[in-house]
Structure 1
Amino acid sequence: MNLLLAEDDALLADALQQQLLNASFKVEWAENGAVAEYLLRKQDFDVAILDLGLPLVDGLTVLKRVREAGRTVPILVLTALDALEHRVAGLQAGADDYLTKPFDFPELEARLHALMRRGRPASQSQQLRRLTLDRAARRASVGGEPLELSPREWTLLDLLVNERDRVVTKPQIVAAWGSEDSAGGSIEVYIHRLRKKLEGSGLAVRTVRGLGYLLEATATPS
């Protein structure tokens, strides 16, 4: 996961780079807008974090120029400017998401993963062990037998399949649901229901203590 971090505060940039590296991102740092614009035009990134208050060329101008050049990389604006007019200006200039400082890193990471999922087209039909996903119809089946899934269960299953082999955090789940309700108990309830429904699929949802959940293969079902 290649990420561009455009941030002129060296202390914040260094701290963010360490956290992003720990989250399995490959990070390239741009300390001003001129460098950020050049890299966004010339290199391919999976996602970018862009401060608006960059020196040499401000972040809003970088956004406009990059979009005018036809570059479609998902860009998250990360800034201390939290007024409504700043949010509107950033989104109108081409930002895909807008997060204000101070922030919690788990929320930033969840938003980055959500942007990357939107940026890459998912196969409309996917087979994983005995589980089949039909994304166009938002249906799933195990061994040909349809699963009765609520909207949240479907979204949770789709997220786990998309992020298989990677831990899915609770903030990622909340972001995928598009809900402000981040109560851990409700997530646990949906995880429990999904585990029951995936029995016999050759897949299981494992809890990674302190981190989140991981979809993994089990012994081949009979």
Structure 2
Amino acid sequence: MATILIVEDEVPIHELIKRNLQSVGHTCISVFDGRAALDKLAQNDVDLVLLDIMLPEIDGHEVFQQIRGTPTIFLTARSSLSDKVKGLTLGADDYLAKPFEMMELLARVNAVLRRTKKESKDFELDGVKVDFESRQVFLNGYPVECTPKEFDLLEVLVNNRNIALSRDKLLELAWGYDYVGDTRTVDVHIQKLRKKLDMDCRIKTVYKMGYRLEV
């Protein structure tokens, strides 16, 4: 997993981001102003910076100009097109306007880490190995045949491990926004994954909600 510097001065938002990133296995470093961000970056190797624009001491744009080369996602209340264009023109890897869902943040973090080669290309747990590049799954060294949609669902669970996901959210993330179908489809695919990968004790049912991959 990655080491991520969170530069956000709104404490409730900061803590929510930190808690969610840590729950999926990332290591987080917290600062609340631009000057402290530059100090931490001088002292630590980080894989990704989540950088608010409206910061005390030094604003996010100026901080970014001094840390070029470090993958960065701008987090900001500014949602106008001109602000987004400015952030991306400076060279930021992504831009997310507040308020945002934590699932969207985690997805964008994973995408940037993959592009910058900072995210692991595989995942292992209890004899199960998932190779994201080849889209192959192994159990105790032996290949397991998974359908494309079973793999998509497993990847969503892995990327959001330890987070409870509703059936609707799993449909959205694994099947797509335009999928027209029943949430029972999720239940069927979950049962198949549990059986194929011997993960009854890992893929937990969240009462009246959905599922969670417990790591």
What TM-score comes out, normalization by structure 1 length?
0.66
Unaligned runs of 5+ in 2: 23-27
Q: What are the Cα deviations for residues 12-63 of structure 1, in whole angstroms up to 9, with x where unaligned?
A: x2212342454364451222x2222232232234543212223443212221
Any idea what SS the aligned residue of 1:95 has? Answer: coil
CA contact (8 A) 1:6 1:36 kept: yes
| Cα distance in 2 between the residues matched to 1:34 and 1:76 | 18
Structure 2: which amino acid aligns with 1:39? K
- Candidates 22, 30, 39, aligned match of 1:28: 30
CA contact (8 A) 1:129 1:202 kept: no
Partner of 1:71: 70
Given the superposition, is the C-alpha separation of residues 200 and 154 from structure 1 closer, same or farther in structure 2, using an over 3 Å criterion?
closer
Partner of 1:208: 206
| Cα distance in 2 between the residues matched to 1:185 and 1:158 | 20
1:66 deviates by 0.6
| Cα distance in 2 between the residues matched to 1:210 and 1:100 | 31
Higher relative contact order (CA 8 A, sep 6+): 2
1:137 deviates by 2.5
| Cα distance in 2 between the residues matched to 1:17 and 1:111 | 17
- Candidates 118, 121, 139, aligned match of 1:120: 118
1:100 deviates by 1.3
Any idea what SS the aligned residue of 1:77 has? Answer: strand
Partner of 1:40: 41
Q: Displaced runs of 4+ in structure 1, greater than 6 A?
A: none
Given the superposition, is the C-alpha separation of residues 183 and 109 from structure 1 closer, same or farther in structure 2, using an over 3 Å criterion?
farther
CA contact (8 A) 1:114 1:172 kept: no
Given the superposition, is the C-alpha separation of residues 202 and 104 from structure 1 closer, same or farther in structure 2, using an over 3 Å criterion?
closer
Aligned Cα RMSD in Å? 3.9
| Cα distance in 1 between the residues matched to 2:181 and 2:45 | 36
| Cα distance in 1 between the residues matched to 2:36 and 2:74 | 16
Q: What are the Cα deviations for residues 114-153 of structure 1, in whole angstroms up to 9, with x where unaligned?
A: 55566534245x6644544343321335574642412x43
Partner of 2:53: 52
- State the percentage of identical aligned residues: 29
